[in-house]
Amino acid sequence: MTDMPLQPASLEIPERPFGRVVRSVFGYALLMAFMFFPPVIVFMPAAIFHCGIRNGRRATWLALTIGSIIGIALGVLTAHQPGATIGEIRLTYAYLASTLFALALPAMLALPLIERSASFGKVLVTAMLIIIPGLAATEFGARTFLGVSPYADQLAQTAQFKGEVLAYYQRTPGFPPEAVDAARRGLDMASKVVACGPVIMFSVFFLLSILMFGRLRAWREFVRTREVSQLSTVYLFRNFSLPEWLLFAFVISGLAPLATGLLQKVAANVLVVVLFLYLLQGLAIFRSLLVAVGINGIGLLFAFVLLGFLTLTGIAPILLTIAGLFDSFFDFRKFKRKDDSNESHTD
């Protein structure tokens, strides 16, 4: 598996006037408050990472605290819309809490890895491992203090979607009953892994934020030094590589069909998350091969259109996931085996 074993010292924070630091902290606080709301919530971790690199961890904690107070207060005000029920208002509170505990706080705890320029995969997997207890704490707190359950709300939405889809298929002329039964079985299976949905969603937010942060840092480094540093390539998507220990999670969770009850449901959700990560790694391999071959412009557009078509047929996700899984044994981003003595990675 390809990894980027850069081991620079912790990034040094340049000395700046106190007043400028204060203005920067409050500016980031307002930015973080704004990012409690979609669609910009996607880049909440990027704002935290960038503030941490520019101003340090203590200043970032202060900015996050101020931004959270402002953002949650605005969220509470917008929740009290005319016609909103008590249950809807309380669910809004729970989702605001999930943004804080499962997105903002994991970003703060992953900041030391960003400062050390840890590998892309390590940062994302670490953040994901923090997201899970953050979501669990939100669920427990919402049930205890608000009397609502985000998980139950997601189950209800899934059940409603399932009913609408099956009703559409059943009233469609010429749709075979066997296909309806297959769709029902597939939707029943999907309803068992609803819990992993928020984990995957917040992980995608982290992925996009890490990509944005990498681009912003590379641009600032280039403006300051007029040189392309090695650090600028760490968080390119083509360098995304998962830790090898994730194979154990894949093997253990793959035994889900043999389990029963709650254990089976937990294992199934873990398996979906792991397969999603390997799908991401497969996409990174695809991107790196395009770069290695030198495809760009119209050729790059054609390659992604073809990938999109194969995705609609269901072929591409399977092939990419398999490629991501076997990248643990073969480095597909090189045209040689992993046991070759040359382990350098060229873009």
Domain boundaries, the chain: 1-147+197-235, 242-347
pLDDT band at 345 (very low <50, low <70, confident <90, very high): very low
Judge contact between 270 and 253, C-beta under 8 A. yes
Lowest-confidence region among 50-54, 79-83, 130-134, 227-231: 227-231
CA 57 vs CA 107, 114, 116, 212, 291: distances in Å? 11, 12, 13, 19, 35
Which residue type is seen at 207? L
Lowest-confidence region among 97-106, 199-208, 264-273: 264-273
Count of beta carbons in the 10 Å neighbourhood of residue 198:
22
**What contacts 24+ positions apart, CB below 8 Å, involve 247-255?**
247/325, 247/328, 249/274, 250/274, 250/275, 250/278, 250/325
Q: What is the pLDDT of residues 62-109, one digit of tens each?
A: 999 999 999 999 999 999 888 889 999 999 999 999 999 999 999 999
Q: What is the pLDDT of residues 107-126, one digit of tens each?
A: 999 999 999 989 999 999 99
What tokens were used for 306? Answer: 């073809």
**pTM for the whole thing?**
0.86
